[in-house]
Structure formats: C-alpha cells, structure tokens
Amino acid sequence: MMKTETIQLAGDVPGNGIELRVLRFEGKDREATSAYLQSSLHGSELPGQAALHFLIPMLEKAAREGRIAGDITVIPQANPIGSAQWMAHQHIGRFEFFSSTNFNRSFPLLENFDTSSLPAIDGPVPLAERLKAELLRQALPHEIVLDLHCDDESESYLYIHQAFLPEMYDLASALGSTAILSWDSTADAAFEEACAHPVLQLPKTEQKTRAVTTVEFRGLSDVNIDTGKSDAEGLYKFLVHRGVIVDTSIALTVDFNGPVTPLENVEMIRAPQGGMILFHVDIGAQVKAGDKLVTVVTVPGDPAGDIILTAPQAGRVLTRRGHRYTRRGDDLLKLLGSRRSENAKPGSLES
Ligand SMILES: [Zn+2]
C-alpha cells in the first residue's frame, strides 16, 4: 500500500519551516527497476503535478492488486519554498527570493551514490540547499528519475543525456513527446544533471538500464483534466515497459521518430530590444531559414521601430515565451535546428 511520509525542514528563521510530502510504494521484487517522480520544482509548473494527480490512484490500484514490482517514490510538490513565493498577487516560482538562484540549478554533483557529503536536513546551510540535498537523497536510490517540468508555451518534449539514448526513446514514445533535446554537459547542475552525474560514472552497460530526464510537459497553462490523464497514462505505460509495474494489458510500441537535437543546435531567439512581442509562428511550426518568427515593437504606432526576427536556419518551433512584453536580451522562442547555432554557448539554454 502507499505510505505517506511528511519530511519537515526547519526554516532559516524561526517559524518558517516547510513540509515535503513523499509518497512511497514498496516493490515486491528486489531485482525490479525502481522509479522516482517529482513535479513542480519550479513551484507553479503544474502539468506534471496534474499527471501525478491522476497517476497516483493508478499506482494505488496496482499496489492493491500486488502489481508494484519495483520501489516507487513520488513527490508531487517538490518545492514548498517556491510554491509559496507570491509577490503583488503574482507567483514567482523559478528563482528563490532570498538568493535569486534558479531552484533547478546548483545541485551538488556527486561522483557516486554515497550521499553522506550532502548537507544534513538540519545542517547550517540555507533551506533551499537543504531542500535540494533532500530531493537528491530521495531520488538517487532509484534507477529511473523523472523530473516533471513545463515550458512557457510548448510542445511536450524531453531533456536527455546522450548516454541514455536511444534506449530512452521508450519514454518519448510513451509520453508522445515531439522532440528530445540531448545534452552532454551543462555544468549548471540542474536536478537532472545531479541525478545523472553518478550514473555516468558507472560502466556503459549499466548506464543503459537507467533513465534520467527532465520532462517538459508542454506549457504553463496546459493544466487540464484530459492532458493530465493522458500524461498519467503515458507515465504508467513507461513504468510498465521498464518493469516497475506489472500490467499485462499494457504494451508499448517504441515508435519515437521526432528530432533529437543537441543543445548547441537549438536556436534561442532573443530580444535585441525591449517592447511588445508579436509572434508570426505558433509552436510546432516548421520554418525555413529567413522566415519571420517574431516582431518586437519598440515604438508602438511607429512601424519604423519594429524589429523583425527571422529564422537563422530551418527547423521546428518548439516553444514560445508566455508573456508578450519583453526586456532586452530576453529569450523569446526555441527553434530546433539541424546544425550548430552561431549563438550557441555552453550551459543550459535558459537562466
Ligand atoms: Zn521548470
């Protein structure tokens, strides 16, 4: 049966502690693959939380029927700090208020699965660091780690380290992902990288049995009953395929044939000046080099102030920003190219 554990983390000042709710299913088979799933590390990114909301009753049913083979740990709200960050009626869940650090950066990178060097839960370090350490302690004992996020306006896609490809096409197939962004090293230490890092020190054959990813379940507003249920079914199907759950009624066809794009081939279209954003293309659009992507209106009413941004190369529009008012230098759109972007830089695509 499902066990619910509530982990208390003391605040950095008295009276500001948080609670991390951890759901556990114990597998019957010690040899079976285990899985960890978390969502909402960026506070208000909820499509993954919706998926878990519908997945958990499916896992409970499997548990009642004795079909959980490997241990499963689920943290539907992985970031109680970010989830509670509101300012002037707006939610801000990506960066921690105190340090301005992205909640999905600066995780400790461990050389192996020994977590004893991580900050203790009551150690003398800020709460955000203790939370990151706790999430790693929860995740690292599992062979499968799925960190569920979303983009602004986006297709459903995955970040996957090159070492786990093409084996992880099964996840892309189960979730109906339209693209995979493959990475080698980002050095920004996202949760995914921190979970992959010790795995990448293992022999290649053992790496291939693992699955570590950041799932981008579409855009911020794509929080619906229908997509939540279908994403839950996709996750379930993947867990069955990997032997974490036994369900003979499920068969996965691995048929992913979308683009697998190295991070350096992603064209990050950025605003050269601030202003109003008018998009010429929707997500999923296939464009040619030179096609119009975005107009930035710098002087409303004066077309001479318009800046038209075009596609540096042919490709697929994967994401658009959700806002329509930009600052100079801000990201506007991701375009999946087939050759290295002239603007490619090391590290994650976004801050
Ligand atoms: Zn995120």
pLDDT at site 246: 98
Q: Residues 182, 272: one domain? A: no
- Residue 95 shares a structural domain with residue 159: yes
Q: Does one domain contain both 272 and 239?
A: no
How many A from CA of 321 to the centre of ligand 1?
13
Do 17 and 113 belong together in one domain? yes
Structure-block tokens of residue 128: 């955000």
User: Would 169 be classed as within a structural domain?
Assistant: yes
CATH code of residue 173: 3.40.630.10
What spacing in Å lies between the alpha carbon of 351 and ligand 1's midpoint? 11
Distance 203 CA to ligand 1 centre (A): 30
Together in a domain, 159 and 82: yes
**Domain check: are 29 and 42 in the same one?**
yes
With contact defined as beta carbons under 8 Å apart, do 77 and 19 qualify? no
215 with 282, same domain? no
Hey, CA dihedral for 334, 340, 341, 344, is it positive or negative?
Answer: positive
Are 253 and 315 members of one domain?
no
Tokens of 290: 């030179």
Number of residues assigned to the chain: 351
Is there a single domain that holds both residue 275 and residue 229?
no
Domain boundary, last residue among 258, 277, 299: 258
**1 Cα to the center of ligand 1, angstroms:** 30
Domain membership flag for residue 344: no
pLDDT of residue 44: 95
Residues 258/179, Cβ–Cβ less than 8 Å = yes
Q: Residue 307 sits in a domain of what CATH number?
A: 2.40.50.100
Cα–ligand 1 centroid distance for 9 (angstroms):
22
64 CA → ligand 1 middle, Å: 33
Ligand 1 centroid to residue 44 C-alpha, Å: 9
Integer Cα distance of 29 and 132 in angstroms: 29
Indicate if 242 and 290 belong to the same structural domain. Answer: no
Ligand 1 centre to CA of 214 (Å) is: 9
Instruction: Tell me how far apart the alpha carbons of residues 171 and 333 are, in angstroms, rounded to a whole number.
Output: 25
In a domain, 341, yes or no: no
Q: Compute, in angstroms, the gap from residue 215 CA to the centroid of ligand 1.
A: 9
At 143 the pLDDT is: 98
Q: Of 258, 276, 307, which marks where a domain is finished?
A: 258
> What single letter denotes the amino acid at residue 68?
I
Cα of 306 from ligand 1 centre, angstroms: 31
* Domain's final residue, options 258, 287, 306: 258
Does residue 294 lie within any of the structural domains? yes
Q: What is the pLDDT of residue 201?
A: 96
What is the extent of the structural domain holding 329? 263-336
Is it true that the peptide bond before 312 is cis, omega within 30 degrees of 0? no
145 and 211 Cβ atoms separated by less than 8 Å: yes
329 Cα: distance to centroid of ligand 1 (angstroms): 20
Ligand 1: centre distance to CA 220 (Å): 9
User: For residue 133, is it within any domain?
Assistant: yes
Are residues 92 and 187 located together in one domain of the fold? yes
Identify whether 30 is part of a domain: yes
Question: Nearest Cα to 236, choosing from 37, 31, 32?
Answer: 37
Domain co-membership, 168 together with 74:
yes
Distance, CA 282 to ligand 1 centroid (Å)?
Answer: 21
Q: Is residue 343 part of a domain?
A: no
Number of domains observed in the structure of the chain = 2
Determine the distance separating the centroid of ligand 1 and the alpha carbon of 217, expressed in angstroms.
10
Spatial CB neighbours of 163, under 8 Å, sequence gap ≥ 6:
196, 199, 200, 204, 207, 208
- Write down the pLDDT at residue 125: 97
**Domain annotation covers residue 32:** yes
Distance 213 CA to ligand 1 centre (A): 12
| C-alpha 126 to ligand 1 mean position (Å) | 21
Please give the chain's pLDDT, 351 residues, in tens.
999 999 999 999 999 999 999 999 999 999 999 999 999 999 999 999 999 999 999 999 999 999 999 999 999 999 999 999 999 999 999 999 999 999 999 999 999 999 999 999 999 999 999 999 999 999 999 999 999 999 999 999 999 999 999 999 999 999 999 999 999 976 799 999 999 999 999 999 999 999 999 999 999 999 999 999 999 999 999 999 999 999 999 999 999 999 999 999 999 999 999 999 999 999 999 999 999 999 999 999 999 999 999 999 999 999 999 999 999 999 999 999 999 999 998 888 988
Q: How far is the CA of 231 from the centre of ligand 1 (A)?
A: 17
